[in-house]
């Protein structure tokens, strides 16, 4: 571990999508690449943090120098985060599936002529809200993300209060911004001190700046 400002600090990060099984061969997921979460983990490692990286099946390879915990479902992600505590900070960059299939089939569903399957859903745990609202052992700094297409600041501000986290990193993912799968990101940091608008920059730069800000906050 490097001898940086986060030496001795333990930080849990979630990243990537979750996969929610339908049956042994099929699943429901989303298009998260894991790029931003991976970049944040890398930046925190570079500042000397001990990083537990809880990742769904991402497109990008995991960063080096982390304690890697691979999971598939949202429930596994929550278990892994809870098992990783206590921590000095938690950063929830994962795109967690909001719903899972209520009853996962234990054998492959068969295609039958003229019969379409019906899926019913159950709500997944909200990992960010669960950890933010812990009454004992809550990480002193909890950071969530908000990908919004409209009223970015208003929606992200409401999300921060609803979930109970300390900061929300809000980004505009509306069509035309190229944020999804792209190299750049335009973010706003929402905290109890208001809104900070960051200029458009590479995801690695967003990660480095966020890591610096986390180091500043943990220094007190």
Residues annotated as catalytic (active site), given as ranges = 30
Helix or strand holding residue 38 (H, E): helix 35-46
Contact flag: residue 167 with ligand C5P (CB under 6 A): no
- Beta partners for 190? 168, 195
How far apart CA 93 and CA 97 sit, in angstroms, is 13
Contact flag: residue 146 with ligand C5P (CB under 6 A): yes
Residue among 34 and 144 whose Cβ is closer to ligand C5P: 144
From 43, 94, 101, 214, residue interacting with ligand C5P (rule: CB under 6 A):
94
Neighbours of 95 (CB within 10 A): 23
Pick the piece of the chain touching ligand C5P (CB under 6 A) from 99-107, 124-132, 194-202, 211-219. Answer: 124-132
Is the distance from CB of 141 to CB of 217 less than 8 angstroms? yes
Q: What are the backbone dihedrals phi and psi of residue 43, each rounded to the nearest 5 degrees, phi first?
A: -65, -35
Contact flag: residue 139 with ligand C5P (CB under 6 A): no
For ligand C5P, the binding residues in 52-81 under the rule CB under 6 A are: 74
Task: Give the binding site for ligand C5P (CB under 6 A).
Answer: 14, 74, 92, 94, 96, 124, 126-128, 144-146
């Amino acid at each position: 571990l490097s001898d940086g400002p986060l030496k001795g600090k333990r930080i849990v990060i979630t990243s990537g999508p979750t996969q929610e099984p339908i049956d042994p061969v099929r699943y429901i997921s989303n298009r998260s690449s894991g790029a931003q979460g991976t970049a944040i983990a890398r930046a925190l490692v570079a500042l000397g943090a001990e990083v537990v990286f809880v990742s769904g099946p991402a497109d990008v390879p995991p960063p080096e120098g982390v304690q890697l915990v691979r999971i598939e479902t949202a429930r596994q992600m929550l278990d892994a985060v809870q098992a990783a505590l206590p921590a000095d900070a938690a950063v929830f960059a994962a795109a967690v599936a909001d719903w899972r299939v209520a009853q996962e089939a234990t054998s492959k569903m068969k295609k039958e002529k003229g019969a379409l399957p019906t899926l019913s859903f159950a709500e997944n745990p909200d990992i960010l809200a669960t950890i933010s609202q812990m009454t004992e052992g809550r990480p002193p700094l909890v950071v969530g993300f908000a990908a919004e297409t409209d009223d970015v600041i208003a929606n992200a501000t409401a999300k921060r209060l609803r979930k109970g986290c300390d900061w929300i990193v809000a980004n505009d993912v509306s069509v035309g911004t190229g944020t999804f799968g792209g190299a750049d990101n335009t973010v706003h940091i929402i905290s109890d001190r208001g809104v900070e608008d960051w200029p458009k920059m590479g995801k690695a730069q967003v990660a480095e700046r966020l890591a610096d800000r986390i180091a500043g906050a943990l220094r007190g």
